[in-house]
Amino acid sequence: MTKEHPKWFQSWFDTSYYHKLYKNRDYKEAESFIKNLVKYLNLNTNDSILDLACGRGRHSIFLNSLGYKVTGLDLSKNSIELAKAHESSTLHFDVHDMRNSYPNQFEVVLNLFTSFGYFEQEVDNIKVIQTIKSSLKQNGIGVIDFMNSPVVIENLVAENTFETENLTFKLKRSHIDGFITKDIQVTDTDKTYHFQEKVRAFTFHDFETMLSKAGLHLLDCFGNYKLEPYNSKTSKRLILIFMAND
């Protein structure tokens, strides 16, 4: 039996290069989004939140600082190991594959910052939605924050190079066979490494269909972190708010 090679998300997210590539992410914008979201959802501090595909837990940690009970799950052992340094009686982290159901249920399940569509097989992406559904308490709310694929594709930068911390990143982007792919070449001193990000370019209609088939009812849709209305041609984000059908 041949050994299966690790998928891109099993290797890339566990490297230090991933975090160095994205070290300049806008944390203030992310925290502003979280504040807008919890206000919109009208949460109280007794509510429990699942942060699915939490990475190193920065959003979980911030949510917890606002007073919520939070559990963060991620496939990356290295990321969860770092996140666990912040654990408390109201903040927990576990290594978990989001395609598999989780035993606990929550008032809110979040899947943020394009942490969806990683899988080659359609059934695996459906499993993530099923995990979200099974993790929701009765009347619980699910949130998927995804890229707005049509705008991303239209503005795709084919290639660019930049340097940081004595590293050179050469990035190539493409839209092929329904996936947006980023090929990443990292030159570190005299060694060169290759990684990839590959995300299915789901549209609003795709999500509408998947959610409906899973028995989830779409409540609202926003196009940016200020929670302004979604427009397929101009919005930067696709933020879906949904709950299980009765």
List all residues 6 or more positions away from 243 whose beta carbon is below 8 Å from its beta carbon: 136, 139, 140, 141, 142, 216, 217, 219
Q: In the structure encoding, which two tokens stand for residue 83, read together?
A: 């996140």
**Measured distance CA(226)–CA(65) in Å, rounded:** 21
What is the structure's pLDDT at 5?
43
Q: What's the one-letter identity of residue 27?
A: Y
pLDDT score recorded for residue 1: 39
Strand partners, 51: 72, 110
**Model pTM?**
0.90
Residue 176 has pLDDT above 50, yes or no: yes
- CB of 152 closer than 8 Å to CB of 223: no
99-121 per-residue burial string, b: 16 or more CB within 10 A, e: under 16 = beebeeebbbbbbbbbbbbbbee
The rounded mean pLDDT for the chain is 90
Cross-sheet strand order for the sheet of 91-95: 91-95, 69-74, 48-52, 106-111, 136-147, 237-244, 216-222
Kindly report, residue by residue over 22-51, the tens digit of the pLDDT: 666 656 788 999 999 999 999 998 899 999
C-alpha radius of gyration, the chain, whole number? 18
- Cβ(169)–Cβ(24) below 8 Å: no
Q: How far is CA 237 from CA 39, 185, 197, 224, 229, in A?
A: 19, 27, 18, 5, 10
Convert 19-37 to b/e letters by CB count within 10 Å (16 or more is b).
Answer: eebeeeeeeeebbebbebb
Dist CA 213 CA 217 (whole Å): 10
* Statement: residue 4 has pLDDT above 90: no
Chain segment 106-156, per-residue pLDDT in tens = 999 999 999 999 888 899 999 999 999 999 999 999 999 999 999 999 999
CA–CA separation, 235 and 155 (whole Å)? 12
- Which positions ≥6 away from 219 have C-beta within 8 Å? 141, 241, 242, 243
SS3 236: coil
- Domains of the chain plus CATH, in order, are 8-149+202-244 (3.40.50.150), 152-197 (no CATH)
Helix (H, G, I), strand (E, B) or coil at 223: coil
* Residue 216 structure tokens: 């989830």
Q: Which of 86, 90, 97, 99 is nearest to 49 (CA)?
A: 90
